[in-house]
């Protein structure tokens, strides 16, 4: 198998995992994997808030991509938008109380899914996959 074949196989696997977990999360919590990634990032941030550009960078998205992802979450009241007091151009995404409750419950589902999907991998394989994010 060539490096290109391996790369495409990894991409396909990730796509299949995302589709499976999005279906499960959607059925249980009304979230996609991308939604969960936003909520998780905000739940780990100080004050449950991040500048939208920083959130986009963490998730590997463009500013317009993060806007498209946040708009439905804002309409649902899971995330709110907050203006910066110091920089009129900067806005923050803030996890609301209902968003914090939702991510807490969804974390259990995501954790179980992650364990199931990664169970067959050795610690070394897991570390190698995690290292790919640094490239």
All structural domains of the chain, each given as residue ranges with its CATH number in brackets, are 3-134 (1.10.10.10)
51 Cβ contact partners less than 8 Å away, ≥ 6 residues apart = 84, 90, 91, 92, 93
Q: How many CB atoms lie within 10 A of CB 90?
A: 14
In the beta sheet, which residues pair with residue 79? 95
Q: Which residue in 85, 88, 101 sits closest to 42, CA to CA? A: 101
Whole-structure pTM over 0.85, yes or no? yes
Name the phi and psi angles at 40, rounded to 5.
-60, -45
How far apart CA 91 and CA 66 sit, in angstroms, is: 12
The pLDDT confidence band at residue 98, using thresholds 50, 70 and 90, is very high
Q: What is the pLDDT of residue 33?
A: 94
């Amino acid at each position: 198998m060539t490096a290109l074949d391996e790369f495409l196989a990894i991409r396909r696997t990730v796509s299949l995992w995302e589709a499976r977990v999005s279906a499960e999360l959607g059925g249980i919590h009304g979230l996609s994997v991308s939604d969960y990634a936003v909520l998780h990032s905000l739940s780990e941030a100080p004050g449950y808030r991040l500048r939208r550009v920083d959130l986009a960078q963490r998730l590997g998205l463009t500013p317009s991509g993060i806007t498209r992802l946040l708009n439905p979450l804002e309409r649902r009241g899971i995330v709110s938008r907050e203006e910066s007091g110091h920089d009129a151009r900067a806005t923050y995404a803030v996890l609301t109380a209902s968003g914090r409750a939702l991510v807490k419950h969804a974390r259990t589902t995501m954790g179980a899914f992650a364990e199931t999907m990664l169970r067959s991998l050795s610690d070394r394989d897991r570390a190698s996959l995690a290292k790919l994010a640094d490239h």
